[in-house]
Amino acid sequence: MAALTLRRKLAILSDAAKYDASCASSGSEKRNSAGTGGIGSTEGSGICHSYAPDGRCISLLKILLTNFCVYDCIYCVNRSSSNVTRARFSVEEVVKLTLDFYKRNYIEGLFLSSGVIRSPDYTMEELVRVARSLREDHQFAGYIHLKVIPNATPELLVEAGRWADRLSTNIEMPTDVGLEQLAPEKKPSEIRTAMANVRGKLDEAGPDKKARALKPKFAPAGQSTQMIVGADAADDGAILNRAAGLYSGYKLRRVYYSAFSPIPDSSSRLPLKAPPLMREHRLYQADWLIRFYGFDVPEIVSGGEDGLLDLSIDPKLAWALKSRQRFPVDVNRADKEMLLRVPGLGTRSVERIISTRRHHRLRLSDVATIAGTIDKVRPFIEAADWTPGGLTDDSKLRARLTPQPEQLSLF
Amino acid sequence: MQVVRLTAPNDFAEWRGHARRLLAAGISPNQVDWRMLGDAGGLLDDVDAIALPPVDRPVGSVPRQFLDMAQQAICHADPARFSVLYKLLWALQSNNQMLGDATLDANSLLTKWTSAVRRDSHKMKAFVRFKSILDDSGLERYAAWFEPDHYTLEMTAPFFARRFDGMMWAIITPYRSAYWYGESLAFGPGGQKSDVPQDDAVEDDWKTYFASIFNPARLKVSMMKSEMPVKYWKNLPEAELIAPLIRNARQMESEMIERVASLPPSRHLRQQERLPEPLGTQEITTLADARTAVQDCRRCRLCEHATQAVFGEGPEHADVMFVGEQPGDQEDLAGKPFIGPAGQVLNKAVEKVGIDRSRVYVTNAVKHFKFEPRGKRRIHQSPDGGEVQACKFWLNLEQDLVRPKVIVALGATAATSLLGKTATISKLRGAPIALSNGTTLFVTNHPSYLLRIPDAEGKAREQAKFEADLILVRDAIDVLRTQH
């Protein structure tokens, strides 16, 4: 077999990495290269350096060290029974690519994952070597995200956390039954134990900045995970319950939802159809509402039917339409918690409403100015010059607020 | 009419100098005409504000928020920015709370400008593409051409200096250029696209990456265009791939869907042969076997959200087995029983009454943590009868394998599990109970009960009762030991 060129390897190993949804480069410590003669910085907010036509941000060089893998997870493009072309980078090749891309301002840093080869320790050690070389040999201060390989030794985890900004372990499936069906060699308890171990190290690193300054660094951007949506039979209630359980247990910064998307040389046991992108979008909205708007999982799920979110309207509107007894809300008097539950009002709009009503009572047009839109808001609020009357309980309200599919033109 | 002529399009200090003079002289906003130097002149009777005496100290006060926003807004390309800022400054002198009213036109304009400027600066950080140049001495330099919508190079260049300390670089824009030679930032005049090299050796790798990381099954062109507007594409090397990638996406997707799965490669078959036999089918004869097998337990639903099963710990033939309710948050994370606050209460009491801790086996009636997620915390929930019953299998196994002389049920859940019927602590504590397998059972409170008592007096009373129960246990162990 002829040796693969570096460019061919790059094509194979980035193609193999694209099913990992996370590309975040935010939320790490503030750090830069000033005065070091090196390169790299992280300043809190992430930067998306490009966008692919799939609408996804390209922030990091997201690649696998190798797509050889001992596991045969049905949903995975790199499963051992697949005939995709296999490749493997050397540590030096990944380091050079990262630096070359970074110096041209193409990326914020590296997202390095890998198929599991030989053993968890061997694989994890290879990932750690890349990160160590970037930090130690090249004074690289950019962002590094490393995959945690379940069952690797604690020493390797500690070292990974020392070099990396973020660590992640994918829960893969929303339910343990789903995982057993599609990834029979993976054990849910081992995946969750890996996350628990990361949480343990994050706790040791200290709850606040002061405490952290005195201890060895450990993954300042925390940990995240991903689950695949639509490859098994789990409904949205199960998915969101899983997410809530993970957020509560492992100090996760993010749970990523990845609509299952057809893969090359796919197993016939999988749904071979376009990825459920709208479902994925609604799950992200629901996740956001649960984390920042004070909703809980049962409330969100109650907006849909049979454990599935409403695909045609957003989950907050769906909940509001089924909880009309709680509306209308008086924008001049309601507390922040209730304002956040009004469809069409985001956290920024709510802040502006609260700050503006210290100056004068808000009229409907003021709310429109602040929210940028009023159609969705109007039926659910009262303002100085507005009361929705029967609009709130109108049986046609849902139909009226459901976005119409775009009218197609004749051709 | 006062005419102010500014030399720089985005110099906040310069604008502030003029604004202070005007404010000190009491000149109202509609009396001022703000212009850039070189703009066409105004009416003949205009008076240059330069004639006013210079003021280099504060002449009024403004909220901090105004200063922050004005420094950004002044970089906006709208020619009205200087006068609107002065209008706001003027109005703030009589009402310094006015920025809080989001419905005022001037405020929404200020908000709009600052967010446009921040976005423009952010996009510069994102979309600058350096090209590498090797000079004759072999030194590598980097140069980029960028076209911002607003005057944002000066505010953004320090970001590049912090990020690319070890590189020599230049960013050229139509209105100004920035240079870094490793020690300080320098600014020069604007330039043009031909001032930087057109090619770079790494660009083809970058394009390869861009094409490969794209998932054709998720085409969402509008999303891409809203985050990476078309106006930037002409200076992005990867942008030339966008049209062909979109064109071929449908075909690539349907090919993936239609292609029938191939037969697995021989490497896969070899790997499958090497896999270990799954555990659990074989008979469990040791504690170590049980410890492995319990991780696959699906006898109830609690395994779904707990991290792992937490099996008992202690010597294989311990004198005494303490049985709690279920692992808590910390036990669940670490995989060890009684390491949290309740475990510490138990250890202290055990030590105090003189039970040899090294001869104690600790475990729980239920092996998985049951909780209710609440934000970033997990709230303990008591296991129900079905869960206790399901887990009895493992507790029985532990009893059979450890064969303790004495078992202590900590709390009602453990007592119920061990007795097979609903148990009340207050009725059962204080006297040994003979179990059918010949073991002696004592019943007492769960140590977490002691932690929950709010008043010190009640706590001390219950602590004493708890220790009294443990003394009974200690004495029973001593008696049983002398009998053997």
Return the CATH number at B298.
Answer: 3.40.470.10
Do both B231 and B182 map to the same domain? no
How far is residue A195's CA from residue A75's CA, in Å, rounded to a whole number?
21
**For chain B, what is the domain count?**
4
Mean pLDDT, residues A140-166 taken together: 96
3-class secondary structure per residue, A129-166: HHHHHHHHHHCECCEEEEECCCCCCHHHHHHHHHHCCE
Asked if B329 contacts B380 with a C-beta cutoff of 8 angstroms, the reply is yes
Does residue A15 belong to the interface with chain B, where contact is any CB pair within 8 Å? yes
B366-382: pLDDT as tens digits: 999 999 999 999 999 99
Give the distance from residue B224's alpha carbon to the nearest chain A alpha carbon, in angstroms: 4
Do both B104 and B252 map to the same domain? no
Do both A157 and A60 map to the same domain? yes
Which is higher by pLDDT, A343 or B58? Answer: A343
Check residue A242 and report its DSSP letter.
H
Tokens linked to B466: 């708890």
The answer to the question of residue A207 being in a domain is: yes
Does residue A119 belong to the interface with chain B, where contact is any CB pair within 8 Å? no
Is pLDDT of A30 > 80? Answer: yes
* pLDDT at res. B2: 87
- pLDDT interval class at B59 (50, 70, 90): confident
Is pLDDT of B484 > 70? Answer: no
Q: What share of chain A has pLDDT > 90, as a percent? A: 85
Q: CB–CB of A83 and B265 under 8 A?
A: yes
| Mean pLDDT over each residue of chain B, to the nearest integer | 91
Q: Phi, psi at residue A279, to the nearest 5°?
A: -60, -45
* pLDDT at res. B34: 93
* pLDDT at res. B52: 75
DSSP-assigned states of every residue in B50-92: GGSPP--S--S---HHHHHHHHHHTTSS-TTHHHHHHHHHHHH
Do both A262 and A360 map to the same domain? no
Residues 6+ away with beta carbon under 8 Å from A384 = A332, A361, A362, A363
Residues 6+ away with beta carbon under 8 Å from B15 = B6, B74, B82, B85
Residue ranges of E strands in B213-346: 320-324
The answer to the question of residue A190 being in a domain is: yes
Does residue A359 belong to the interface with chain B, where contact is any CB pair within 8 Å? yes
How far is residue B334's CA from residue B331's CA, in Å, rounded to a whole number?
5
Do both B46 and B150 map to the same domain? no
* pLDDT at res. A367: 96
Q: CB–CB of A48 and B219 under 8 A?
A: no
Asked if A265 contacts B262 with a C-beta cutoff of 8 angstroms, the reply is yes
Is pLDDT of B41 > 70? Answer: no
* pLDDT at res. B277: 62
| Cα separation values, B236 from B142, B206, B440, Å | 15, 11, 78
Do both A261 and A384 map to the same domain? no
The answer to the question of residue A187 being in a domain is: yes
Mean pLDDT, residues A370-383 taken together: 95
Do both A214 and A359 map to the same domain? no
Q: CB–CB of B210 and A58 under 8 A?
A: yes
How far is residue B339's CA from residue B334's CA, in Å, rounded to a whole number?
9
- Among candidates B238, B54, B222, B18, which has minimal Cα distance to A50? B238
**CA angle, corner B336, sides to B333 and B342, nearest 5?**
90
Which of these three, B105, B123, B141, is where a domain ends? B123
**Distance, C-alpha B87 to centroid of its chain:** 41
Do both A329 and A180 map to the same domain? no
The answer to the question of residue B221 being in a domain is: yes
* pLDDT at res. B46: 56
Do both B113 and B134 map to the same domain? no
Residues 6+ away with beta carbon under 8 Å from A363 = A383, A384, A385, A386
Do both B70 and B135 map to the same domain? no
Is pLDDT of B49 > 70? Answer: no
Longest C-alpha distance within chain B, in Å?
119
* pLDDT at res. B299: 92
Q: Which residues are bridge partners to B131 per DSSP?
A: B143
Does residue A259 belong to the interface with chain B, where contact is any CB pair within 8 Å? yes
Q: CB–CB of B268 and A192 under 8 A?
A: no
This prediction has a pTM of 0.93
Q: How many helices (H) and strands (E) does chain A have?
A: 16, 12
The answer to the question of residue B373 being in a domain is: yes
Residues 6+ away with beta carbon under 8 Å from A168 = A22, A145, A146, A147, A148, A223, A224, A225, A226
Does residue A364 belong to the interface with chain B, where contact is any CB pair within 8 Å? no
**Peptide bond preceding B454 in cis form (omega within 30 of 0):** no
How far is residue B166's CA from residue A37's CA, in Å, rounded to a whole number?
4
* pLDDT at res. B482: 81
- pLDDT interval class at B38 (50, 70, 90): confident
**A41 neighbourhood in chain B, CB within 8 Å:** 159, 162-163
Q: Could you report how far apart the first and last alpha carbons of chain B are, in Å? A: 111
Helix segments in A164-314, DSSP class H: 176-182, 188-204, 209-213, 236-250, 277-292, 297-302
* pLDDT at res. B96: 87
* pLDDT at res. B250: 86
Which of these three, B101, B123, B145, is where a domain ends? B123
Mean pLDDT, residues B44-71 taken together: 78
Angle, nearest 10°, between helix axes A188-204 and A236-250? 40
In which order are the strands placed within the sheet that holds B176-180?
Answer: B131-134, B140-145, B168-172, B176-180, B185-189
The answer to the question of residue B143 being in a domain is: yes
* pLDDT at res. A209: 67
Do both B225 and B331 map to the same domain? no
The answer to the question of residue A378 being in a domain is: yes
Do both B318 and B429 map to the same domain? yes
Least confident range from A247-256, A399-408, B146-155, B325-334: namely A399-408
What ipTM is given for this predicted complex? 0.94
Query: Which value, in Å, is the radius of gyration of the alpha carbons in chain A?
Result: 24
Asked if B325 contacts B302 with a C-beta cutoff of 8 angstroms, the reply is no
Q: Domain containing B224: what range?
A: 203-258
DSSP-assigned states of every residue in B167-195: SEEEEE-SSEEEEE-SS-EEEEE---GGG
Q: Domain containing A131: what range?
A: 6-275
Which of these three, A275, A309, A340, is where a domain ends? A275
* pLDDT at res. B324: 97
Q: Could you report how far apart the first and last alpha carbons of chain A are, in Å? A: 51
Interface size between A and B, measured as CB pairs under 8 A: 263
The answer to the question of residue A29 being in a domain is: yes
Do both B307 and B393 map to the same domain? yes
Is pLDDT of A272 > 80? Answer: no
Q: Phi, psi at residue B114, to the nearest 5°?
A: -65, -40
- Coil, strand or helix at B406: strand
Angle, nearest 10°, between helix axes B105-127 and B153-163? 40
Q: Which of B163, B200, B305 sits opposite A245 (nearest CB)?
A: B305
Mean pLDDT, residues A359-382 taken together: 95
Check residue B411 and report its DSSP letter.
S
Do both B469 and B347 map to the same domain? yes
Q: Phi, psi at residue B283, to the nearest 5°?
A: -75, 140
Q: Phi, psi at residue B397, to the nearest 5°?
A: -60, -45
Do both A270 and A330 map to the same domain? no
Do both B175 and B299 map to the same domain? no
Give the distance from residue A396's alpha carbon to the nearest chain B alpha carbon, in angstroms: 30
The answer to the question of residue B369 being in a domain is: yes
**CA angle, corner B329, sides to B325 and B332, nearest 5?**
80
How far is residue A88's CA from residue A55's CA, in Å, rounded to a whole number?
28
How far is residue A296's CA from residue A299's CA, in Å, rounded to a whole number?
6
Do both A329 and A269 map to the same domain? no
The answer to the question of residue A81 being in a domain is: yes
**B263 neighbourhood in chain A, CB within 8 Å:** 83
- For residue B356, the tally of other CB atoms under 10 A from its CB is 13
How far is residue B76's CA from residue B12's CA, in Å, rounded to a whole number?
12
**CA angle, corner A184, sides to A180 and A186, nearest 5?**
95
Least confident range from A215-224, A244-253, A293-302, B278-287: namely B278-287
Asked if A63 contacts A146 with a C-beta cutoff of 8 angstroms, the reply is no
B117-154: pLDDT as tens digits: 999 999 999 999 999 998 888 889 999 999 999 999 99
Is pLDDT of A48 > 70? Answer: yes
Does residue A38 belong to the interface with chain B, where contact is any CB pair within 8 Å? yes
Please say whether the dihedral angle defined by the alpha carbons of residues A19, A23, A27 and A30, taken in this order, is positive or negative: positive
Do both A141 and A61 map to the same domain? yes
* pLDDT at res. A2: 66
**CA angle, corner A227, sides to A225 and A230, nearest 5?**
165
Q: A367: buried, middle or exposed (CB in 10 Å: 19+, 13-18, 0-12)?
A: buried
Do both A168 and A27 map to the same domain? yes
- pLDDT interval class at A137 (50, 70, 90): very high
The answer to the question of residue B274 being in a domain is: no
Pairing of strands B131-134, B47-48: unpaired
Asked if B139 contacts B148 with a C-beta cutoff of 8 angstroms, the reply is no
How far is residue A162's CA from residue B82's CA, in Å, rounded to a whole number?
48
Do both B363 and B470 map to the same domain? yes
- pLDDT interval class at A408 (50, 70, 90): low
* pLDDT at res. B281: 44
Residues 6+ away with beta carbon under 8 Å from A280 = A229, A257, A258, A259
Give the distance from residue B418's alpha carbon to the nearest chain A alpha carbon, in angstroms: 27
How far is residue B230's CA from residue B439's CA, in Å, rounded to a whole number?
79
The answer to the question of residue A386 being in a domain is: yes
Q: CB–CB of A7 and B253 under 8 A?
A: no
The answer to the question of residue B176 being in a domain is: yes
- For residue B50, the tally of other CB atoms under 10 A from its CB is 12
Tokens linked to A75: 């949903």
Q: Phi, psi at residue A220, to the nearest 5°?
A: -60, -20
Q: Which helix (H) or strand (E) holds B120?
A: helix B105-127
| Mean pLDDT over each residue of chain A, to the nearest integer | 93
Do both B209 and B186 map to the same domain? no
Give the distance from residue A324's alpha carbon to the nearest chain B alpha carbon, in angstroms: 25
Q: CB–CB of A47 and B122 under 8 A?
A: yes
**A50 neighbourhood in chain B, CB within 8 Å:** 126-127, 210, 228, 236, 238
Is pLDDT of A97 > 70? Answer: yes
Mean pLDDT, residues B52-64 taken together: 82
**For chain A, what is the domain count?**
2
Q: CB–CB of B162 and A6 under 8 A?
A: no
Do both A105 and A214 map to the same domain? yes
The answer to the question of residue B28 being in a domain is: yes
Which CATH number fits the domain that encloses residue A21?
A: 3.20.20.70
The answer to the question of residue B217 being in a domain is: yes
